[in-house]
Amino acid sequence: MSTPFDRIRRFLDDQQPPTPCLVVDVDTAADRYRALAAAFGPATRIQYAVKANPEPAVLRALRAEGASFDVASPAEIDLCLAAGARADTLSYGNTVKKPSAIAMAHAAGVREFACEATDDLENIARHAPGAEVSVRLLVDPPASVTPFGRKFGCAPDEAAALLVRAAELGLDPAGISFHVGSQQLDPAAWDGAIALAAKVATDAAARGARPRRLNVGGGLGVSYTDQAPPVTAYAAALRSALHAHFPGEAPALVLEPGRAVVAEAGLIRCEAVLVTRKSAMDPHRWVYLDIGRYNGLAETENEAIAYRFEPVGEHTPDDGPVIIAGPTCDGDDVLYQRTPYRLPLSLRSGDRLDILAAGAYTASYSSVAFNGIEPLRTYCISGGRLISAE
Amino acid sequence: MSTPFDRIRRFLDDQQPPTPCLVVDVDTAADRYRALAAAFGPATRIQYAVKANPEPAVLRALRAEGASFDVASPAEIDLCLAAGARADTLSYGNTVKKPSAIAMAHAAGVREFACEATDDLENIARHAPGAEVSVRLLVDPPASVTPFGRKFGCAPDEAAALLVRAAELGLDPAGISFHVGSQQLDPAAWDGAIALAAKVATDAAARGARPRRLNVGGGLGVSYTDQAPPVTAYAAALRSALHAHFPGEAPALVLEPGRAVVAEAGLIRCEAVLVTRKSAMDPHRWVYLDIGRYNGLAETENEAIAYRFEPVGEHTPDDGPVIIAGPTCDGDDVLYQRTPYRLPLSLRSGDRLDILAAGAYTASYSSVAFNGIEPLRTYCISGGRLISAE
């Protein structure tokens, strides 16, 4: 069976671009979007989280599939519009924004803004009069692989008050939003948050503000070294939580996947620059790659995301334990020293490796030039052929 | 008394560039270099760690002072040469490098390479025949603020063997190097490492390879919220350790400061985009800045570097506890939630703050465009006037 990784590998083997590089198969991103849309049904609005991978070719492919977009900044608005997205399919999901950013978004035609604080709400009323507002709720979900902590959202009482205040300010108190943490492998994690949102909705409705949408964020997991549940399991769990906690008229569901759309569409090819032992007695080898935390693998911080590595070419079946590190002179640029990884004993300096499912939260996180190392290059393919290179 | 921060603030108040931005007073970087050179004396070679801040104006100012340079990649070699540095004042300090990088450095005239593994040594012999080699030793110093862990260096036996092998390969076994961790606030931290290096030097000399230089790395601390010892304290401690452990002819000292040269030359001006409480009962306010971990403050990871913040303009003397966070939609983009920070109760959304001693490891760490937020802009001033803007 042909997998997206096969198409990417064929491209890499043919073209041999310099490593490290990320190749994104935009057909796979479109496939994943379609699978989500099918699992959640036409009543669910799917807003792709642009931050996961803002490549123009990815945005164009998703726009063609009918996706909406979750944007974090004026620059992401520009990217989506340049990719042909209609402004009314964009949602300004960042609750931290300057008045100038709100005014820019409003002038561009963006109608919906996330909000979690009175100051921001008043800025929205001033610079985007009449806008739809989605109030972000602080929730306390089960742990995810990369949790949000308490950074975003406000307490339930505050959320209801903001919806009411939005209406008073002439804004449309359209929705409630929350996020249960990125790479959330437990489909039941949304249940408590949906219950809390239902309480806020009831409370706000009693005071005349009736949110009609429920934005349950992203967070759907993908398979790295761990196996993620299928999309259909998330859809079933969310549907059942919605029915349980909104026994009357349920709000329309909004989903903001990033990783679940684009991670499995990408593969990074890199090189083992150095394979060595610190001493003859060292039980494990240190494998230093030409990619690390500062040029694409930022999500290895605290070893959160454990990527799947596959050596390229022929190797012995025998393997041994390794510590995997990046190419900068920075002591923090070690990818995995606690997570047990094994690589072939035949691996040598100069050998190449593939990092699977690396399409999300990689290239856009790259540093501009830390240690003089350039940001991760991205090549986008469709139909197996190159359609863009940056 | 006029401080470098006063000159920077005068520039910022006059010019009002958009925030966030970093302003580097290159005169201060030159001053700090001169203070180091005076404290360590003319026999010590000072190689500025370019990665700390690779701004061309900084490199030019240091070159004019007679500095040498520690480079981590071909791109950093190009930057130094473009700033007018002679190739023989560059040392390739990264032990992780491709054969193509070694060949490029050799062709550019770079003579010295750090090394910690046989594969790399053989690559150096092949692509930079006759080069000077400095073997990096894995040391176990007292904790520093941002320690190196075990990423770099090899065991003492291996280090001695590499020096011997370098000579056999026609290379010059010129030195031993190590690093005791960045922002190392204990001047005595070098003592054990110098003792270990003396053992390696004796061992290698007995086998015919006599290293004549000892590269003690960087790591000298600067004052953020904590006070760092004066440069003279580091110089005294290092001199005394050198005399104690090399009772005969001591090797020439090489120092690779980055932070100690450029941190206090820089100040970041930023804006509090949002100041809010999660609920009415929340004892602390959340202050969301327009700068965070992904556009300049990478060293706040694990709250390692605790920067000094000073609000701009008039504020009440009353203050209260705050959690400080960055502008992206990322849950990890929280700067300080355990480190106790207090800011004026009068601080409002839209107010500006200065981040002091922010010239090192900030702009060059910025992500290319995470969340569509542009990398931190740098303005360099000299004599109080703008000399470069990027």
The separation between CA B31 and the C-alpha centre of its own chain, rounded to angstroms, equals 16
Rounded Cα gap, residues B335 and B331, in angstroms: 11
Q: Does B184 touch chain A (CB under 8 A)?
A: no
Q: For residues A127 and A55, state if they share a domain.
A: yes
> Taking residues B354-368, what's their average pLDDT?
97
Domain count, chain B: 2
Of the candidate ranges A133-147, B64-78, B99-113, the one whose mean pLDDT is the lowest: A133-147
Q: Which residues from A are below 8 Å from B273, CB to CB?
A: 96-98
Taking only the tens place, the pLDDT of each residue in B289-325 is: 999 999 999 999 999 999 999 999 999 999 999 999 9
- Provide the ipTM: 0.96
Contact B76 A371 (CB under 8 A): yes
Write down the pLDDT at residue A149. Answer: 85
Q: Which residues of B touch A366 (CB under 8 A)?
A: 367-368
Mean pLDDT score of chain A: 96
Shared-domain flag, residues B246 and B371: no
Q: What is the CATH classification number for the domain harbouring A79?
A: 3.20.20.10
pLDDT at A390 over 70: yes
pLDDT digits (tens, 9 = 90+) for A61-103: 999 999 999 999 999 999 999 999 999 999 999 999 999 999 9
Q: Which of B225, B259, B293 is the last residue of a domain?
A: B259
Establish, for the pair of chains A and B, how many residue pairs have beta carbons separated by less than 8 Å.
Answer: 211
Whether the Cβ atoms of residue B371 and residue A73 lie closer than 8 Å to each other: yes
Q: Are residue A248 and residue A144 in the same domain, yes or no?
A: yes
Q: Which residues of B253-274 are buried (b: 16+ CB within 10 A; e: fewer)?
A: bbbbbbbbbbbbbbbbbbbbbb
Domain check: are A180 and A314 in the same one?
no
Range of the domain at A123: 26-258
Rounded CA separation A189/A197 (Å): 14
- Closest to A55 in 3D by CA, of A29, A16, A94, A33: A29
Any catalytic annotation for residue A80?
no
Task: Report helix, strand or coil for B261.
Answer: helix
Distance CA A169, CA B192 (A): 66
B75 class by beta-carbon count within 10 Å (0-12 exposed, 13-18 middle, 19+ buried): middle
Task: Scan for tokens 């520690």, then name that residue.
Answer: B70
A365 lies in some domain: yes
One domain, residues B41 and B190 = yes
What is the least distance, in Å, from the CA of A149 to any CA of chain B?
6
Question: Which residue, of A240, A258, A276, is where some domain finishes?
Answer: A258
**B162 CB contacts (<8 Å, ≥6 apart)?**
B115, B116, B117, B118, B121, B133, B135, B154
Of A142-151, A188-197, A378-387, the poorest mean pLDDT is in A142-151
Query: Are residues B287 and B168 part of one domain?
Result: no
Of the candidates A6, A1, A8, A18, which has an alpha carbon nearest to the alpha carbon of residue A270? A18
DSSP string, B4-16: HHHHHHHHHHHH-
Statement to judge: residues A75 and A163 lie in one domain: yes
Q: CB atoms < 10 A from the CB of B14, how many?
A: 11
The CATH number of the domain where B285 resides is what? 2.40.37.10
Whether residue B285 sits in one domain with residue B138: no
Nearest CA in chain B to A296: B367
Cβ neighbours for B208, distance < 8 A, ≥ 6 positions apart: B164, B167
* Residue A6 at interface with chain B, using a CB cutoff of 8 Å: no
Same domain assignment for residues B32 and B134: yes
pLDDT digits (tens, 9 = 90+) for A195-244: 999 999 999 999 999 999 999 999 999 999 999 999 999 999 999 999 99
